[in-house]
Structure 1
């Protein structure tokens, strides 16, 4: 199972403020939804609840408290292992981790790839993308857009050396 995080990150690491994204980049939202379409997506409960129409073919919501969701495509998981088990049961080989900050922290050691939208500037925020050791990752693609850049990172291992 390939685990891929997708996040928009300001220069100072900010990804959110008061449960909202502190910038408006419609083209980023479009490429983000296209990227994760057809795959399960993973959220913390608060991040999941921010979406009127959550992206992905199915949504796996991590929460300490089991609960029911009003979408047929949403299910609860209590940890990384259960998340992977649910995603595999859906017949997929990839799941996208979409936040928030605590979920990115939890999954960081398990990720195979990161797709990071680099948002120019520094923003006030209360939620941050986890710092990572660039020596453990390989930047494999950079895609420039008008107001942002999308970087794809792959975890280094024997195959990428």
Structure 2
């Protein structure tokens, strides 16, 4: 299984304030939708509450209280979401995805849990600082190698792979 973290990150590392992310760009959202479509997404409860269930994707929600979450079933009979209590359960739960790519979409605590297990980072690097207390882990050059960058004005789409 390939694990990819995807996030919008301010120049000061902020990804949110605990309730919402500080930046919303239409081009970034369209790209997020295209990239994650058909894949499972691992997230924390607050991220799930902020985003809801996204069509064409299975939400794997890490929460202390999975009994409080319920999910509808998609047309193909698979649940649209699965609640688990740990990172280990999140990566082991069967989803039926053919290619076994899972995207980690936040929040900060979930990114930190995922960090040692990630294969790639797909980051929208914003050229501005933001207020907020939720930070993305530091992308250190000794850990991550930049493999592509697409400048877009206010932000860049940047992909990283693990440094060998």
Displacement of 1:33 after TM fit?
1.2
Residue 12 of structure 1 aligns to a residue whose secondary structure is coil
3-state secondary structure, aligned to 2:46? helix
Distance change >3 Å, CA 37–CA 59, structure 1 → 2: same
Deviations, residues 72-121 of structure 1 (Å, cap 9, x unaligned): 31001222221121156544421000000100011001100000100111
TM-score between the two structures when normalised by the length of structure 2: 0.88
**Displacement after TM superposition at 1:146 (Å):** 3.3
In 2 relative to 1, CA 50–117 (structure 1 residues): closer, same or farther, beyond 3 Å?
same
- Does the CA-based 8 Å contact 2:53-2:81 persist in structure 1? no
1:94 is the counterpart of 2:101: yes
The aligned counterpart of 1:77 is 84
User: Number of residues paired by the alignment?
Assistant: 157
In the alignment, is residue 20 of structure 1 matched against residue 27 of structure 2?
no
State the Cα distance separating 1:137 from its structure 2 match.
1.2
Report the equivalent of 2:76. Answer: none
Q: 1:55 to 1:134 in 2, by over 3 A?
A: farther
Q: 1 CA distance for matches of 2:39 and 2:97?
A: 9
Please state how far the C-alpha of 1:147 moved relative to its aligned partner: 2.4
Is the partner of 2:145 in helix, strand or coil? strand
Query: Which is worse superposed, 129-138 or 107-116?
Result: 129-138
Structure having the higher helix fraction is 1
Q: Distance in 1 between matches of 2:72 and 2:51?
A: 12
Tell me by how many angstroms 1:56 deviates.
5.2
